Amino acid sequence: MATYNETTVRAVEITDNPHIEKIDRSTLAGDIEKYWVGVETSNVGLQHLLLIRGRLWLKKPEYEAFERYDVGWIEYHGVYPNQLNCWIYPAIPGPRLDHRPARVELPSHAEFTEEEEAKIYRTFDNWRNGEGKDFMDRQDRWFRERPWYEMHGLSPEEAVNRFHQLGW
């Protein structure tokens, strides 16, 4: 049983068959089409880009560290309301961000036995190379190609078309 929370020990069983939730970060073209096509400005924020006076602007590089790069999580449940999430990340290329392979990150506030850690990593590897392979390959490609860099200065309509030309 993994334990967490320094003031209260709560148990969450690290099972062999946890729930895995995906977050598709490669849907930016659809989000632009849904929220920004046909408008000059919007209060809807999207990852990597801003809409200013009908044109897309790349966010400043110093804001890149605040963007979301997680693409899912492995979810373990204990006695309600206890649950534990291990975040899934795609392969992130350098040099802007430190190059990292696709991975699962264990929560820093939890303590695991070696057996539990091995089970979590094995779950991720099995999913990454099995059921989740196509999804993770797409996320890896998205962060490797970084197509949003080609959208600076385009109108939302032009950006959607450009994403489609690039295969997104």
pLDDT digits (tens, 9 = 90+) for 116-147: 889 999 999 999 999 999 999 999 999 889 99
Residue bearing the bigger pLDDT, 108 or 155? 155
Residue bearing the bigger pLDDT, 54 or 105? 54
Residue 99 structural domain: 2-165
Q: 40-98, pLDDT tens digit by residue?
A: 999 998 989 999 999 999 988 766 667 788 899 998 876 556 678 899 989 876 555 55
Residue bearing the bigger pLDDT, 10 or 162? 162
CA dist., res. 125 & res. 86, Å (int): 13
Split into its structural domains, the chain has a count of 1
pTM for the whole structure? 0.81
CA dist., res. 44 & res. 138, Å (int): 25
Q: 25-54, pLDDT tens digit by residue?
A: 999 999 999 999 999 999 998 989 999 999
Residue 56 DSSP symbol: E
- Other beta carbons within 10 angstroms of residue 1's beta carbon come to 12
